[in-house]
Structure 1
Amino acid sequence: MAKVSSDDLGSESIGRLLIKQAVPASIGILVMSLNILVDTIFVGNWIGSIAIAAINVVLPVSFFIAALGMAIGIGGSSIISRALGAENKHKALKTFGNQISLTLLVTITMVAFGLYFADGLIPAFGGKGAIFKPAKIYYTIVLYGVPFLALCMMGNTVIRAEGKPKFAMIAMIIPSVGNLLMDYVFIYIFDWGMEGAAWATTGGYLLCFGYIFYFFLSKNSELKIKSVDFRLDLPILKEIGSLGFVTLSRQAVTSITYLLMNNILFDLGGESMVAVYAIIGRMLMFALFPVFGVTQGFLPIAGYNYGAQKYERVRESINTAITYAAIVATVVFVGLMVFPAEITGLFLSSRADMSAEEMASNIFVLENTPAAMRWVFAATPIIAIQLIGAAYFQAVGKAVPALLLTLTRQGFFFIPLILILPIYLGELGVWLSFPIADTLSTIVTGYFLRREVKTSLRIDAAA
């Protein structure tokens, strides 16, 4: 693997640089998303559709705790990118050390609370009826591995901040491949059911942690921290917190969304309706991987060049990132509009020994998911503006607008819509909430991003 330096972020052409950053990020997200997708297919075919619903109930809790690591990672990585751009290596090292200490402290505490209140949290997130028992099995085992996942998410963003996207890509591929192999062994061969699915997921987290730990000890990393860097520093913690709070708020709202969606859909159609949303949720993670890849690739480029006061390069990176993301989002949109039934069928078991209840659930899911999927992804071609716009403010350290724009889609628009529209439109109101929220949030983000480019990113501003 060729030697890469963070200095390249400020000198190489934006188009080529964005491809070099976004392609590995996209591949990593693709493999991770494929892992989630195939894992769900395995669970649906080898355990049953209720098991898919059970995992969907657990995800918002485990992902929220893991998102603490991502929040600390993205908040700190914004500081690291700008510090490296300004040639302030001491601040970059101190920030990284504080990220590690803070991630361990916060996530271990949250896992302890999560395990203690398990019986109350699982039903609150939709784990009711037949879903509760498999959900609790999965929840308990997976939560033990969540601190390692949080460290992986934190470390991965720091690797990108150093300008080394290929290593970050490998860090995402290793646990995904490991998880799928362990799925086959634990579920299919050993017949461990939900326990097997949970241990395979946790094993993937451990593999990822091992690789990232190796990376920072090796000569590939520029960040060689000392024991003194682990000592918590209040000004750095405040800066990490203000920027990381954006990511954490987004995940918190996502978890609240899962809670509301699972409960609303359970009331509308029972366990099978929750399974419909679980499949669509997997596609939201999987289908948009190239768009998220462009967003991940954009972050260190914008942060580094903003820190170096190369504002023309920041403007160019915004325009290029939006263009690339919009193109791939449109391709995804076309595929989902044409093949929703075929995609849904992948998740459902065709075993001859299915019970009548499971067969009825599969028929319901197959009949209801395609139309819902089309509505959910109806505004996909325009979401690039919203994603890149919110990411820009986070990359350059502007926490307040980053927070507000990040919360715009789900917090300000989507949650009110799913509370109101189903009252009048039933199930259709739930699915219509997605494109309406996407459209409104894109309009708002586009307005503020355009104003920012005209004021703070003037070519003469760096003079």
Structure 2
Amino acid sequence: MNAENLHYFEKAPIAKAVAHFAVPMMLGMSMSVIYSILNAYFLGTLHNTAMLTALALTLPLFAALMAFGNLIGIGSGTFISRLLGEKRYEDVKHVSSFAFYSSLILGLLVIAAGLPLVDSIVHGLGAAPSSFAFTKDYVTVMLIGAPVVVLCFTLENIVRSEGAAITSMIGMILSVVVNIILDALVIFVFHWGVVGVASATVISNLAASIFYAIHMGWKSKFLSISLGWFKMNKEILSNVLKIGVPVFIMSLFMGAMSLIFNLFLIEYGDQAVAAYGISSRLLQFPEFIVMGLCEGVVPLIAFSFTANRLRMKQTITFTIQGILVLAVLFGAIVYLISGHLIGLFTNDPLLIEMGSYILHVTFLSLFITGVTSLFTGIFQATGQGTAAFVMSVIQGITLIPVLYIANRMNGFHGVVWSLVISDLAAFVVGAVMLYMLRNRLQPDMEQLAE
């Protein structure tokens, strides 16, 4: 963290501070969605629905790897931001080194546990005989690359936690650029299909991980990847895990929800699964832009929670206004050109019709999911472990019974609308908990007077 980053933490106008932290995160996350979309686009050029289905079915696996990265990355990152607010700079080195090596160990454990069970994993993902081989290829490559993917998610959060938002963005963009170049090569030159797309994803994460490691090891004043700074004590474990575990569970629930959702959609054919795979990737673009705003301000909220709670409250208010503007803007665009967007990936009229319908419905809850993400970020940044844990499970707990009931009552339409209902439930629960915790988060009288 340099003097410029400290200025944005402590003194810059709220709009400029939020922009400094959030805009790079929004751009970086939008780029990551772009390469997710391009993965589907490049495979779509092969006109093989089974390949697109395999790509959709493997979303839960990627969510699981992201969960391990977030377990260490977000848990350590929010702790680092609070430590910076308290000026405990030596402890920051201990926590960042702990995060680096813990992520690698977790990734190796994923390989050891996952590879012997690869066939069971593919069956569990719901792969039909037509897409089983493609799904297995993708799963195998991703399991082998697990340490790299987990490490990349972790380091991106750690770098951002010290205020180096632009460095975080550059790493994400680097990953995207490498992935796009490799996608084109493996599809059009080497003809490696699904294996090539999965390999490109792993290699692009490796490139970003190396970039982040160089920043932490040689450019950052406070972060470290040196084994000499590695430390694991009760304070580090408790602060990392009380936030990291809820985030881990939430990420796993995202994967489980995607898996369960796919299993319900399988009843309506491969077209339904492929349509959801395409539409969910398109929906990820505005969702990740909004999520980038919410996650981008988490270090600012965490720092301000220990240094200036009035500034924290102003940051939260400004962020909610930003979410509303983005939701209205993206909603208008999608409702005008949804059919054309789906048509970029397929010329199947049924896929276009089903994908457009899914987009229209799920976009209804973009503002709700954005504010819900902010609620979760507030709980993480302020160390409210119990509230963060509740947010991590509520949407998944709600979705499962809603899916079952809605499917029985209204078939395919009910399955799609269940996403909106579960999003609304999570929003209500988050709002209630934030209201209950309001006294802990209020600025003191001296800050209000100033």
Partner deviation per Cα, 1:306-328 (whole Å, 9 max, x = no partner): 122x1101111111111111211
2:186–2:197 contact (8 Å) kept in structure 1: yes
Which residue identity lines up with residue 338 of structure 1 in the other structure? L
For structure 1, the 5+ residue unaligned runs are 351-361
For structure 2, the 5+ residue unaligned runs are none
Partner of 1:389: 375
Structure 1 residue 136 corresponds to structure 2 residue 132: no
Which residue identity lines up with residue 134 of structure 1 in the other structure? F
Which of 408, 411, 423 is the aligned partner of 1:423?
A: 408
Give me the identity figure in percent: 24
State the shift of 1:221 in Å: 4.5
Partner of 1:456: 441
Partner of 2:183: 183
Which of 334, 357, 364 is the aligned partner of 1:378?
A: 364
Structure 1 residue 367 corresponds to structure 2 residue 350: no
- Secondary structure of 1:117's partner? helix
State the shift of 1:440 in Å: 2.6
Which residue identity lines up with residue 366 of structure 1 in the other structure? I
- Distance, in Å, in 1 between the alignment partners of 2:220 and 2:235 is 28
Partner deviation per Cα, 1:265-296 (whole Å, 9 max, x = no partner): 112x2222111111122123222222111112
Which residue identity lines up with residue 292 of structure 1 in the other structure? M
- Distance, in Å, in 2 between the alignment partners of 1:136 and 1:226 is 37
Aligned length: 448
State the shift of 1:427 in Å: 0.5
Deviates more, 1:372-381 or 1:215-224: 215-224
> Where do 4+ consecutive residues of structure 1 move more than 6 Å?
none
Matches within 5 A, 1:64-213: 64-213=64-213
Partner of 2:432: 447
2:249–2:393 contact (8 Å) kept in structure 1: yes
- Distance, in Å, in 1 between the alignment partners of 2:193 and 2:47 is 6
Structure 1 residue 238 corresponds to structure 2 residue 223: no
- Distance, in Å, in 2 between the alignment partners of 1:366 and 1:39 is 18
Partner of 1:354: none
- Distance, in Å, in 2 between the alignment partners of 1:427 and 1:201 is 32
Structure 1 residue 314 corresponds to structure 2 residue 300: no
State the shift of 1:167 in Å: 0.2
Partner of 1:274: 273
State the shift of 1:441 in Å: 2.1
- Secondary structure of 1:4's partner? helix
**Using a 3 Å threshold, how does the CA distance of structure 1 residues 65 and 382 change in structure 2: closer, same or farther?**
closer
State the shift of 1:415 in Å: 2.3
- Distance, in Å, in 1 between the alignment partners of 2:377 and 2:76 is 14
Partner deviation per Cα, 1:357-401 (whole Å, 9 max, x = no partner): xxxxx3321222211221121122333321111110101111110
State the shift of 1:454 in Å: 4.5
State the shift of 1:46 in Å: 2.5
Partner of 2:36: 36
1:279–1:344 contact (8 Å) kept in structure 2: yes
Deviates more, 1:279-288 or 1:215-224: 215-224
- Distance, in Å, in 1 between the alignment partners of 2:144 and 2:118 is 13
TM (normalized to structure 1)? Answer: 0.92
Structure 1 residue 432 corresponds to structure 2 residue 417: yes
1:65–1:111 contact (8 Å) kept in structure 2: no
2:375–2:431 contact (8 Å) kept in structure 1: yes
TM (normalized to structure 2)? Answer: 0.95
Which of 338, 341, 356 is the aligned partner of 1:340?
A: 338
